[in-house]
Amino acid sequence: MARRNVTSDLPRPTLHPDSASATLEKVMAPTTRSSLRRRLTSTKLAFVAGLALLLSACAEDKPLNTFEPRGPQARFIDSLMWPWIWGIMGVIFVLVTFGTIAIAVKGRVKPEDYDEDDLPKQTHGNFKLEIFWTAAPAVLLAAIGIVTINGVFELEKTNDDPAAGECRANADGSRSGELDVMVIGQQWWWEYRYDIDCDGFFEDVDGDGEIYGPNGAGGDVDDIEWDINVALDDDDLVVANQMVIPAGEQIDLELTSRDVIHSFWIPRLNGKRDTVPGRLHTWSLEADEPGEYTGWCTEFCGLSHARMRMSAVALSGEDFDAWLDNQLQLADVPTEADEDVWAGYQLFQANCMSCHVVNDGNLSYGPPVEEGVTPPDLEPGTVKDFESALTAGAAPNLTHFATRTVFAGAIYSHYAGLDADDDDVDPGEFLELSVDDGNDDGDYRLNEAILKRWIANAPDQKAMAPEDLRGMPSFPALSEEDLDHLVAYLATLD
Ligand code: HEC
Ligand SMILES: [Cu+2]
């Protein structure tokens, strides 16, 4: 390479004593065995950790994989990722990476040509290049922006409002019609309310002709302060932690929260949407096939945020109708004849009813109404919401607890031997869950141990703050026998 004298009067660069050469010297210095071992161990560790991370991508069971869409909404999002976003990013990644390597290799100075006074040609400004690398990203971002914004509108699409008489629980007993579900987040579990009679989610609680809440007269959703416990329509079906839906149908969701902001995310069915107290966000999801689809709260919401999961079970239309029929039944009231269950029922009334609802037709709690307002008469067999001893104002509804497979924010499964993703299991069998009756005929077994442990000391298993009315308290006074009785009672709630 030609020597260029112009630069010879520039100061020569010197190496900082702490920089690469110093490090190199240290590395080359004679080492004791232990320091060598240390170095090897951390290298090995880094290698193993890296490999584990890489291999985790090959896991068979990836219930939270966004790239395995199982419904139209999730598929739509996936179609944005590929070819659009990942495609464009991929091309840029390859161009930049290999471009950098190619230039470095091509422009490198061979040791024999090395001349410390020789600097590369200095370039200042290149109008064409600058225009190019400003315009090209702008064009790419605009393209991605167009498909993404279109996607936002696409995912907002809801079903048309059903015509009269086309509902899940029609007066004539038919089950045609679409389904709206309200999703309510609270610390640290999910409630699902099904608007099965299609009269909306809210009702005129005090009978003054005005409906509380966002659907109320003259109301702008965002302006109205509303108490969800008062406003919700009590004819609706209430379940906790496991949302059961018919496969192949779009389910419209209304999302809200009773305490802090949570985020609802079942990745194989749709993207994320925040649940915000005092607001209603619309969302939807649809599962192509029967099966279980899990999700995770994705907005930090306090102590047990990481233990606030979701479970959606899609059933065939027929199975779903059967499930719904069953859910609409009142819970059985135990009789004294069955001593264990009866004892459990008594314990439940004494210890648990201040928070949990079991709709067995014997409840007559009224909503917390203002002074001077008469609550409407209760139809026999209906249950009213009441303010429970909790900040969120509600604990999981246990009316059909034994027909669900998960509890406590879907972190535990209370049935042994059941996996909806198992090819041999018909998700419809979720309906036929029954307690182990002693004969070995393939019943799913209620996991009594896990339930007893939970009832005795829930905060020990899931971080909660019962002293602050957040979460379930522990019950140190309950004996082993009491716990058996309580579980015997819970097992009848099918
Ligand atoms: C102070 C209110 C309160 C009381 C009293 C209470 N619980 Fe709970 N319970 C909760 C809350 C809140 C949860 C949800 C906790 C979570 O998953 O984060 C819960 C969850 C549960 C669950 C799991 C339900 C599900 O679907 O996730 C069961 C079962 C349960 N409680 C049983 C009982 C029993 C039995 C008693 C009486 C011995 C009782 N609880 C007393 C507040 C209460
Ligand atoms: Cu949350």
117/456: higher pLDDT: 456
Lowest mean pLDDT across 7-11, 236-240, 444-448:
7-11
Given its phi and psi angles, is residue 218 left (phi above 0), alpha (psi -120 to 50 degrees) or beta? left
- pLDDT over threshold 60, residue 380: no
CA 177 from centroid of its chain's CA atoms: 27
Contact 415, 422 (CB under 8 A): no
Q: Where are the domains of the chain?
A: 62-115+126-156, 180-490
Contact 303, 187 (CB under 8 A): yes
CA angle 221, 227, 230 (to 5 degrees): 115
Ligand 1 atom with the smallest distance to the CA of 478 is 38
Cβ–ligand 1 distance for 402 under 6 Å, the answer: no
**Residue closest to 323 by CA, chosen among 247, 377, 233:** 247
User: Would you state the pLDDT for residue 432?
Assistant: 54
Lowest mean pLDDT across 77-81, 128-132, 411-415:
411-415
- pLDDT over threshold 90, residue 443: no
Cβ–ligand 1 distance for 312 under 6 Å, the answer: no
Nearest residue (by CA) to ligand 1, atom 32, is 455
Give tens-digit pLDDT for 164-207.
556 776 666 666 677 889 999 999 999 998 887 776 776 554 45
With the most atoms of ligand 1 within 8 angstroms of its CB, the residue from 238, 327, 355 to mutate is 355
The rounded distance, in Å, linking the Cα atoms of 189 and 338 is 32
User: Would you state the pLDDT for residue 392?
Assistant: 80
62-115+126-156 fold: Helix Hairpins (1.10.287)
Q: Over range 297-316, report the average pLDDT.
A: 93
- How does 32-69 read in b/e, with b if 16+ C-beta sit within 10 Å? eeeeeeeeeeeeeeeeeeeeeeeeeeeeeeebeebeeb
Query: From ligand 2's centre to the CA of 257, what distance in Å?
Result: 9
**Residue closest to 193 by CA, chosen among 232, 256, 238:** 238
User: Would you state the pLDDT for residue 150?
Assistant: 92
Ligand 1 atom with the smallest distance to the CA of 188 is 18
Query: From ligand 1's centre to the CA of 454, what distance in Å?
Result: 9
Angle of the 339-351 helix axis to the 480-490 helix axis, nearest 10: 100
Cβ–ligand 1 distance for 400 under 6 Å, the answer: no
Q: Is 481 helix (H, G, I), strand (E, B) or coil?
A: helix
Sheet holding 237-240, edge to edge: 237-240, 189-195, 180-186, 251-257, 281-285
Per the confidence metrics, is the pTM higher than 0.75?
Answer: yes
pLDDT band for 422, please (50, 70, 90 cuts): low
CATH classification for the domain delimited by 180-490, as one of 3.40.50.9100, 3.90.580.10, 3.40.50.1370, 2.60.40.420: 2.60.40.420
- pLDDT over threshold 70, residue 36: no
With the most atoms of ligand 1 within 8 angstroms of its CB, the residue from 356, 390, 485 to mutate is 356
Cβ–ligand 1 distance for 309 under 6 Å, the answer: no
Nearest residue (by CA) to ligand 1, atom 41, is 352
Nearest residue (by CA) to ligand 1, atom 40, is 352
Query: From ligand 1's centre to the CA of 428, what distance in Å?
Result: 27
